[in-house]
Structure 1
């Protein structure tokens, strides 16, 4: 007793405790208390992770005399180790030593049972078979508990037939199944989606089953049938329970409601929920808080917010809305449905009602804020968490990091990662993969290399996702050969022995801590897509064959990639061959499949075939999207059937599919090409009402009107564009000014002054034709004023742009060099320039080319 007290007194000083244990081990009284002290010193050494001392303890135990004390002590030592699944290998090592040192004295069945249970918790099914075989060899009679653990392990491993065989043969070993045995076996079959087979086990009436079909078994079966969408069978089981005198309890109904909600059948679940509340005369159990929470979760998951809100109100009135789980469920439901402001109120309500939000509550809010791109608010929430004594975990930091990465804010994301590590919160693979992927997307290749290197140095569990990010990054950057090399080496040697000269391959070479390094379907989809995009379809085919040879089944994404590539090239017959193979391999046509085929037929203007595909889509319940309609509209317009294309626009609107700017661009161009500007303008107005007053729409309509000779309408539209302060980059406004100078110089002068008044930075060569036109009309004063204004603006721009000034930049003389005028504008500029007191200018040779020809808009000249 004194030894145990001394050991417990030194729990926080494990080395001293072990030293004390060794000193008094040889005393005459130690043997009496040795068995009771072994678990204590073992736990002390385990908690301190002193593995060398544990081995020494084992050696001391083995050397203890007499042998029966050593045998019992070693059993106690092994039993203590087996209670910790993380030390399972060590426990088995010492168990094997026990069997070797004392072969004639087998361990008790209780130790076998404990080890079996530990292997089950530690997910080590391979050890279960070894233990059971050793039991038989040691002539240890298994207990019912032994078989229960064995059956559960077989079920967890998916070996259901073997589990059933063990169950059936239990009586041969003198053991009969109890209620736990049957429940374990039934649960195993139900989890595997084999509820009917589970029911057959009961119906066959195996000896030992009678009397063991309790509520737990029935509830498991009912839940399984509901998950498999066999609701009629579930209802029959409920009736069968009643017939056998087992009244369904709240767990029975909760199982049904939970399974139905998970399958998305919330309305069906709500009917059961309603019956529980109103049909007391039928003896139905009243809903519990768990029932309410299940229904709340179901409503929220399906986006049925009004029903969920009504349920929350009902729970509050009944005093059932009092648990942290209820609040978290409601928080998650609100944020999933974009109700951020309401979720904030719920979080405040929790605190007011004395329910402290936990880390899960805050993580829900953090995810909602990051999804809404409210990153500063997410940061503030983290400060609030800490002030309330709830410290961020890996999920919190990873969510915030992902939020920054999704906005391309890699610098801030890296700061979060550093903060995370500094605060003792270890990043997981998801965290690192998120940042690595973002670095690739931003084109920051060197930083991505460094990130991968650090992940390796820190021994993070790198996986196939990590490799797919690297492969995808290389494909994005046109480094397909390097990406393919990595895939080859992943198959050959995993990630541990790549020996390529390129930087990423050499980095992946050194990774020693990979959980799963084999390429998957996503790996091949990435490479195949990269090859097809650059036109290397034959190489993509080889990758497809290689994937099939590796027993990786292609999915619809890979087939769609090939179909899109062939259709883009106009190889429709090849696309249909791929389609046939796709259907043979059980992959259904997707929206992308149809869009690709429609594109292929559209390029060949095979309208009849396109409409046939549209009919097929309707039959299969696949709704076309805006891309589908845009392809068809483009095909019709190219074929001179713009009016038919317009009817598709109406069809889109009727189906609730919003046309985008591309839709209207195609149609406007088509009608302008046929000089039907009235319809084009009407479409333009419709586009504005649907897409908004976008620069792309205004510049398109303006340029088409100008090209079609609709000078007045073009001028009016440009005027309206200036009032909206739209960017001028895509407007051919210089052409407008030149044409107006030929017919309506006052309008040209008006637009030029409006550009100046609105503060636009525009090409100052636009002054030249107006100055020339005004001078020809004899409006000398106006011409001089305009020339003066032009040189002021040029001077301002040159002063503001130091880079241009250092290189000589552009000045008003450069503009004159691009003028095709009669020389009148040149004379005006010389006169004004001289009036500024800047001396004379050398005469400039007449220019033969239009000034517009010299300016392509690619460089900011002024």
Structure 2
């Protein structure tokens, strides 16, 4: 078979790669075989398309062993290029290394080195870049200006700006002259990392090399200065452009507006936009559709919906300006600001005006609805999509699936997954990550294992998000050591590290292709550091922090906040402020979480004055306190005995439009009750009900606090109100109320509560009857005592022993165990308190009813209880 015929035969079997491979090997093993080298690119593409990597390795070995070797060199190089181009960089690189070892006399071309450098930089493999550069020097291959530009670009992308500058300066030593692209790359690198001033310095150097900055360089610098809030510098650059004969165009102005909007300086962006609209005689470019959309997006991101709506109306009057992209920006802005109904109306308005929403439009609305838990509305939108003739895509289904998972409705999420696949829309790695996260969150570890198995079988790439979900799940499941082990192995094994979860997980993820590129990121370290801090292993968390810095991963405010929070929680305020100092040095701004942690820590050290100083600083920085901030302040005031000041804090919260939550009122009510100021506590209770609604937590809190404070009558009123609302009694000290009423001689009221519990169908502890039975017996009301003892027996025989009484730590300390504090029937039977009136009544009733021995009334052992 000739070479041409072999190539044709291989192409015919493209869909059957295994047969094509067998055919190639059979021809190759024939003693009269022709040269197979021209067919190597064809068989290589077939194998790569099917990810038959072991066969690719076999092909590489065949080429290495073929004779004469020089003839196979071109095929080996083409195979390396093909692997790199197809995304299998690791294999491409290892095969290139083997070629250099096998053929030491071979000198690769600068074009090959440039191609490999390009792929190295794309994959962020600095180790490979270094090896290639050394190999190029050893091979005596002189770099080109293009080579240096590639290396400078890679260093800039990695943030190694000083190294990029050094390499730029060495270009002349290597016989290469920087071109305008060299300068442009370095300028873009500086601007990308907020160093526009350094980029500006390069403009003068460009002139020395005989280059004039072009509009791209100017626009990059102008946008960067605007983003940094240096509008004066941006204006100077605009003037400098004019001096260089480059009149600012609409792109220049759009760069300014875009940079200002990203920096949150929307008012300055709006001024420039207005000038473009009205000052045409000054030579300013007229705004285009991009300009309008930039301004619309800027208004929406800043929550300036009235201004955005005015702009939308203006765009609609002009006709051409309000396009599909504009509507999508407006939809996204409305949903980000919680305007769900308005967004749905805009969606309908689009259709009425002849602007057909695309799937992205619908996905924006779907996401907003699902994030707000409006899943039934999201389902209605799904119907609109189908009726419009569009097909829901992976994002649509994944958004809906995420909505159900966020609500913990895994069965419904599973239905969405089946529906998705039924309509031929295959889930992607993002979809699987959503499910995986939900399964870990719900503690369904075996199901998570099955999902990982499915991901591997279906060929899904395990990305950094997948690994982080698994690591986070392990941390929350108490398997911190295993989580740390996987995070460490990601550096060498990539995504395949999640295959080491244990014997049942071994081999779930293949260590091939892109999984190798899955490296730990900032989120990975954030999860591990947070878990270590929560476990009290601060020293190990510090080591992880240093390790992260050694891996060139710069910490963000989230990681700093983790350390600040744990130090404040432990009362180590000086350590927290040292971390804060380092945080500010790294250019990380204080967040709301930072302030909340510091306020909590200062409160533990009675530093109230400093707390108010932090609150003032928050406002100056434009950070609005949230309910957690105020709760920390209230807690600090209560702890330091300044409870009278807390009411003004509560008023301030309400004036700021921040509704107190259950924790807010719990802190306040407990503090005023502890100070025996029950009048204020009851007022707060009423306010809590009006703001947060009639929550069981409020009733149980108020009832228990009144009872502990010996405010029995008021406690009884609250308890009866709770019964009227059919609240669960698990958090109520109801037996203590009955005992106290009996102790005060109010047997009728105590009996009335028991009757109400029975009528309402509550299953409560039969021990509650004991003080009433005793009291009636002491009064000589033998008949009534027997009736209650009978009901007590009926309840015990029905197994209605429920609603255990939970006490806070303070209540357990402040209160002694009550005489009738037993929580089960067994303690009733074996009790001996001296008089034994209730026990005598019980025996008398039991004898009359023929119930058998007392031991028969003890709780029966069940498999369920044994299990628990």
The equivalent residue for 1:333 is 333
The structure with the largest alpha-carbon Rg is 1
Distance 1:528 1:124 in 2: 26
Matches within 5 A, 1:565-576: 565=566, 568=569, 572=571, 576=574
Matches within 5 A, 1:198-213: 198-204=199-205, 206=207, 209=210, 213=213
Distance 1:229 1:169 in 2: 38
SS at match of 1:469: helix
The equivalent residue for 2:708 is 707
Superposed CA deviations along residues 721-743 of structure 1, whole A, max 9, x for unmatched, are: 33333333222233334444554
Q: CA RMSD in A?
A: 6.0
Distance 1:278 1:413 in 2: 53
Superposed CA deviations along residues 463-513 of structure 1, whole A, max 9, x for unmatched, are: 444343333333322233333444454467666589979447846886445
Matches within 5 A, 1:440-479: 440-479=440-479
Q: CA deviation at 1:548?
A: 6.2
Q: CA deviation at 1:259?
A: 1.6
Larger deviation: 724-733 or 655-664? 655-664
The equivalent residue for 1:393 is 393
The equivalent residue for 2:480 is 480
Distance 1:464 1:379 in 2: 31
Whether contact under 8 Å (2:121, 2:129) holds in the other structure is: no
The equivalent residue for 1:688 is 689
The equivalent residue for 1:355 is 355
Superposed CA deviations along residues 425-446 of structure 1, whole A, max 9, x for unmatched, are: 5544433333222222211122
Distance 1:546 1:188 in 2: 26
Whether contact under 8 Å (2:496, 2:516) holds in the other structure is: no
Change (3 A) 1:49 1:502: closer
The equivalent residue for 1:378 is 378
The equivalent residue for 2:224 is 224
Distance 1:762 1:698 in 2: 18
Larger deviation: 575-584 or 121-130? 121-130
SS at match of 1:514: helix
Whether contact under 8 Å (1:177, 1:209) holds in the other structure is: no
Matches within 5 A, 1:87-486: 160-161=164-165, 187=188, 190-191=191-192, 193-204=194-205, 206=207, 209=210, 213=213, 215-243=215-243, 246-417=246-417, 420=420, 425=425, 427-486=427-486
Q: CA deviation at 1:263?
A: 1.6
Distance 1:347 1:535 in 2: 51
Superposed CA deviations along residues 576-633 of structure 1, whole A, max 9, x for unmatched, are: 2464366347367666566556656655xx42x3433442553465766544554554
Distance 1:120 1:543 in 2: 27
The equivalent residue for 1:671 is 672
Matches within 5 A, 1:548-567: 561=562, 565=566
SS at match of 1:229: coil
Q: CA deviation at 1:349?
A: 2.8
SS at match of 2:308: helix
The equivalent residue for 2:727 is 726
Whether contact under 8 Å (1:449, 1:507) holds in the other structure is: no
The number of residues matched between the two structures is 782
Structure 2 gaps of 5+ residues are: 21-37, 803-822, 859-864
Whether contact under 8 Å (1:402, 1:434) holds in the other structure is: yes
Distance 2:728 2:839 in 1: 30
Whether contact under 8 Å (2:113, 2:132) holds in the other structure is: no
Q: CA deviation at 1:316?
A: 0.9
Change (3 A) 1:688 1:558: same
SS at match of 1:671: helix
TM-score, normalised to structure 2's length? 0.71
Distance 1:713 1:252 in 2: 72
Distance 1:723 1:843 in 2: 38
Larger deviation: 767-776 or 457-466? 767-776
Distance 1:479 1:42 in 2: 48
Distance 2:293 2:344 in 1: 20
Change (3 A) 1:524 1:841: same
Whether contact under 8 Å (1:154, 1:163) holds in the other structure is: no
Larger deviation: 516-525 or 231-240? 516-525
Whether contact under 8 Å (2:394, 2:426) holds in the other structure is: yes
The equivalent residue for 1:615 is 613
Whether contact under 8 Å (2:495, 2:517) holds in the other structure is: no
Change (3 A) 1:758 1:153: closer
Distance 1:111 1:480 in 2: 45
The equivalent residue for 1:805 is none
Superposed CA deviations along residues 674-715 of structure 1, whole A, max 9, x for unmatched, are: 433222222322333333322212222122222333232222
Change (3 A) 1:841 1:167: closer
Q: CA deviation at 1:290?
A: 1.6
Whether contact under 8 Å (2:363, 2:396) holds in the other structure is: yes
Distance 2:568 2:152 in 1: 54
Structure 1 gaps of 5+ residues are: 19-38, 64-69, 801-809, 852-858
Change (3 A) 1:453 1:246: same
Q: CA deviation at 1:48?
A: 11
Distance 2:610 2:82 in 1: 69
With a CA cutoff of 8 Å and minimum separation of 6, indicate the structure with the bigger relative contact order: 2
Superposed CA deviations along residues 523-572 of structure 1, whole A, max 9, x for unmatched, are: 45444444444445555566566666666666665565556555555xx5
Whether contact under 8 Å (1:772, 1:821) holds in the other structure is: no
Change (3 A) 1:631 1:454: same
Q: CA deviation at 1:410?
A: 3.0
The equivalent residue for 1:24 is none
Q: CA deviation at 1:315?
A: 0.9
Change (3 A) 1:455 1:511: farther
Superposed CA deviations along residues 44-84 of structure 1, whole A, max 9, x for unmatched, are: 9979978999x99xx9xxx9xxxxxx9xx99xx99x98998
Distance 1:176 1:799 in 2: 86
SS at match of 1:206: helix
Q: CA deviation at 1:234?
A: 1.9
Whether contact under 8 Å (2:117, 2:132) holds in the other structure is: no
Superposed CA deviations along residues 630-655 of structure 1, whole A, max 9, x for unmatched, are: 45544554555433454544455555
Q: CA deviation at 1:406?
A: 1.6
Whether contact under 8 Å (1:695, 1:726) holds in the other structure is: yes
Distance 2:182 2:599 in 1: 58
Distance 2:184 2:130 in 1: 20
TM-score, normalised to structure 1's length? 0.71
Distance 1:185 1:541 in 2: 35
Matches within 5 A, 1:638-653: 638=639, 640-650=641-651, 652-653=653-654
SS at match of 2:239: helix
SS at match of 2:207: coil
Q: CA deviation at 1:823?
A: 8.6
Superposed CA deviations along residues 742-798 of structure 1, whole A, max 9, x for unmatched, are: 544444454445445545444455566667767888999988987888788788887
The equivalent residue for 2:698 is 697
